[in-house]
Chain A
């Protein structure tokens, strides 16, 4: 029972972690809570259903190949959404008072939710393919193929993101930009480009998370982005917003807490766990586990 909950929690937590990376990267560079980031994940999930349906119906490939193609194309579409979102809602407000971009972000979030509701319907959508049920059974603990896939892909993505940020030219420029935007401009970094790249990377990861979750649960609803977004944001704050390592750990810790909490405390208040954790962390240690306190400039 406990082991089963740990596996479920780890699956859930991996998803939170990769969405949280999007929040944390954008916050690191723009100090903006990209409130609409959860909606990109939701779009990714819907695209997963739409594209998987398309690929299986047209019979271009087998189920495994179809899923791979779905992930790739969903990521591409979401990359566009991420890119466009930044250009439309945030870039024009870069020098506006701090409330403005947050409100704009809320606007985008509502827009995308209703866009999907209007085009895809308000009822749950079903993932068009059932993957083989079980991969591993050890006594009464089951781990499905999709769970293995989710955990493996998430780990892979987190490792590649870390390598990308620490090794590549663009990754280094991202770190430079997050530390000091003016200096980054002075040393010749194209800050606009770096910001776009950040949004695109975040969106790609959210899209992959979305497709995997759609395949895992089999059901998708236009409201999943808001809830997952809040939880992933909680994960990012838990680990210390701005820290990539923190987002990963925060996601997994939150996933475990939620699945254990639902099993042993109360399943009705499952969604409240994230909120309570969020509030407590913000009040007790706002810098998170890995963040550091930044004194306000006078």
Chain B
């Protein structure tokens, strides 16, 4: 912008930015808060300009390399710690860990679509809902058990992903994202309004927990092992597919679709496959969620839920399966750790997404 010289100095810019922020806050929060914000912005910007260019600490950027070197060791100790958790932790912690496990399955599924194949999906909660409601309905209406329903809901959700993708994949980039968002919202509206089937906003109650040999695994300490067992299997399968010709084809499509088609990849087919394969895991996660809560309602499957799952994938590093798990654990456990910050959870998440895109778009475990 063409500014008078005195406005183009660093100090002037800092003052203007702080002033702007303070004025913007004024009508919402009053004079005192505005003054505080003014001081805060001014000092942060001053510190930044004095310390020069912001650089990610070098220890931080070597995380991926360190992990790669000690892969087996880290994997084994993590597995050991996770397996021992139910022996020492109380119900509250186990509950949190179970949610982290379920979100991990969601995140690694979404990562197949967004991270591997580069198709932004803003309606993933709809597939999560599909899995949850499939089990809820099959269980409460027909009385089918957990283990019978598991493949059924996973495959059904997979089909839903495929069916959405057939028309949607004619669109590119942002438009595809918006169509998936619209699909997610329509799904939620249907769940909310189809009273005779879904009981609308009241949701479905009385869903059974899984049983093994007639013993109910309702106790979270047992259920924990089911969730983490399934997570381990999902991780194994997804990693193996990722490192096969299928995973390579997805990544090629993400990096250059035209080049991918000229080396013989049927891009439409593989994009459909990515949607179906990624949604499959949402179906499983949805089931695990329904069986854990023994209750489902549309409010668990809002747009914010889709954004939350996407944030996990982005935080961990788009395209990085383990990163997605890390992202899920962080975003489930951090708000619990900062209980008094609970109210600010989404505020921080929003700001975090902006900062992440600005300073580390490749996420925590991504390599640039």
Residues of A within 8 A of B (CB): 32-33, 46-47, 50-51, 54, 77, 80-81, 83-84, 88-89, 92-93, 96-104, 106-116, 118-120, 190, 192-193, 196, 226, 230, 233, 237, 268-269, 271-272, 275-276, 278-279, 282-283, 286, 298
Q: Which residues of A contact B20 (CB under 8 A)?
A: 80, 83-84
Given contacts A77-B27, A81-B24, contact A193 B178 (CB under 8 A): no
B193 in contact with A33 (CB, 8 Å): no
B23 in contact with A103 (CB, 8 Å): no
Give B256 Cβ to nearest chain A Cβ, in Å.
11
User: Whose C-beta in chain B lies nearest to the C-beta of A268?
Assistant: B193
Candidates A77, A107, A271; contact of B24 at CB < 8 Å = A77
Q: Which residues of A contact B304 (CB under 8 A)?
A: 110
Given contacts A107-B351, A275-B182, A282-B171, contact A100 B343 (CB under 8 A): no
Assembled-state Cα–Cα distance A28/B190 (Å): 34
B189 in contact with A84 (CB, 8 Å): no
User: Whose C-beta in chain A lies nearest to the C-beta of B120?
Assistant: A99
Q: Which residues of A contact B21 (CB under 8 A)?
A: 84
Decide yes or no whether B89 CB sits under 8 A from chain A. Answer: no
Q: Which residues of B contact A268 (CB under 8 A)?
A: 189, 192-193
Candidates B114, B189, B310, B344; contact of A271 at CB < 8 Å = B189
Given contacts A33-B174, A114-B347, A192-B1, contact A278 B179 (CB under 8 A): yes
Candidates B182, B189, B350; contact of A107 at CB < 8 Å = B350
Assembled-state Cα–Cα distance A221/B173 (Å): 31
B357 in contact with A233 (CB, 8 Å): no
Decide yes or no whether B354 CB sits under 8 A from chain A. Answer: yes
Chain A CB within 10 Å, residue with most, of B183, B190, B347: B347
User: Whose C-beta in chain B lies nearest to the C-beta of A93?
Assistant: B357
- The 4 A-B pairs at the shortest CB distance, nearest first, are namely A107-B353, A111-B350, A110-B350, A275-B182
B347 in contact with A118 (CB, 8 Å): yes
A50 in contact with B343 (CB, 8 Å): no
Assembled-state Cα–Cα distance A98/B361 (Å): 12
Assembled-state Cα–Cα distance A216/B28 (Å): 21
Residues of B within 8 A of A (CB): 1-2, 20-21, 23-24, 27-29, 114, 118, 120, 122, 167-168, 170-171, 173-175, 177-179, 181-183, 185-186, 189-190, 192-193, 258, 303-304, 307, 310, 314, 318, 343-344, 346-347, 349-354, 356-358, 361
A111 in contact with B186 (CB, 8 Å): no
A100 in contact with B170 (CB, 8 Å): no
User: Whose C-beta in chain B lies nearest to the C-beta of A88?
Assistant: B354
Q: Which residues of B contact A81 (CB under 8 A)?
A: 24
Given contacts A190-B1, A226-B303, contact A283 B171 (CB under 8 A): yes
Give A28 Cβ to nearest chain B Cβ, in Å.
14
Q: Which residues of A contact B310 (CB under 8 A)?
A: 103, 106
Q: Which residues of A contact B1 (CB under 8 A)?
A: 190, 192-193, 196
Given contacts A96-B357, A196-B1, A226-B303, contact A113 B346 (CB under 8 A): yes
Assembled-state Cα–Cα distance A247/B186 (Å): 23
User: Whose C-beta in chain A lies nearest to the C-beta of B25?
Assistant: A119
B173 in contact with A286 (CB, 8 Å): no
Assembled-state Cα–Cα distance A120/B27 (Å): 10
Assembled-state Cα–Cα distance A283/B170 (Å): 7
Assembled-state Cα–Cα distance A196/B2 (Å): 13
Beyond A106-B307, A116-B28, A286-B175, 17 additional contacts (C-beta under 8 Å) are A32-B174, A46-B28, A50-B28, A80-B23, A83-B20, A98-B173, A104-B358, A106-B122, A107-B354, A118-B343, A192-B1, A230-B185, A271-B185, A275-B185, A276-B182, A282-B175, A283-B171
A89 in contact with B354 (CB, 8 Å): yes
Assembled-state Cα–Cα distance A51/B167 (Å): 46
A104 in contact with B354 (CB, 8 Å): yes
User: Whose C-beta in chain B lies nearest to the C-beta of A92?
Assistant: B358
A-B contact pairs, 29 of them (CB 8 A): A32-B174, A46-B28, A50-B28, A80-B23, A89-B357, A96-B357, A97-B361, A98-B173, A99-B118, A100-B361, A101-B357, A106-B307, A107-B350, A107-B351, A107-B356, A110-B349, A116-B28, A192-B1, A193-B2, A196-B1, A237-B178, A271-B189, A272-B185, A275-B186, A278-B178, A278-B182, A279-B183, A282-B179, A283-B179
Give A47 Cβ to nearest chain B Cβ, in Å.
6
Q: Which residues of B contact A283 (CB under 8 A)?
A: 167-168, 170-171, 179
User: Whose C-beta in chain B lies nearest to the C-beta of A297?
Assistant: B258
Q: Which residues of B contact A84 (CB under 8 A)?
A: 20-21, 24
Assembled-state Cα–Cα distance A103/B351 (Å): 11
User: Whose C-beta in chain A lies nearest to the C-beta of B21?
Assistant: A84
B189 in contact with A269 (CB, 8 Å): yes
A118 in contact with B186 (CB, 8 Å): no
B358 in contact with A110 (CB, 8 Å): no
B28 in contact with A102 (CB, 8 Å): no
Q: Which residues of A contact B351 (CB under 8 A)?
A: 107, 111
Assembled-state Cα–Cα distance A6/B213 (Å): 63
Q: Which residues of A contact B190 (CB under 8 A)?
A: 272
Assembled-state Cα–Cα distance A189/B212 (Å): 71
A93 in contact with B358 (CB, 8 Å): yes
Q: Which residues of A contact B189 (CB under 8 A)?
A: 268-269, 271-272, 275
Q: Which residues of A contact B120 (CB under 8 A)?
A: 99, 102
Assembled-state Cα–Cα distance A51/B28 (Å): 10
A118 in contact with B170 (CB, 8 Å): no
Q: Which residues of B contact A51 (CB under 8 A)?
A: 27
User: Whose C-beta in chain B lies nearest to the C-beta of A81?
Assistant: B24
B352 in contact with A107 (CB, 8 Å): yes
User: Whose C-beta in chain A lies nearest to the C-beta of B168?
Assistant: A283
A282 in contact with B178 (CB, 8 Å): yes
Q: Which residues of B contact A279 (CB under 8 A)?
A: 179, 182-183, 186
User: Whose C-beta in chain B lies nearest to the C-beta of A99?
Assistant: B120
Q: Which residues of B contact A83 (CB under 8 A)?
A: 20
Assembled-state Cα–Cα distance A50/B258 (Å): 52
Give B6 Cβ to nearest chain A Cβ, in Å.
18
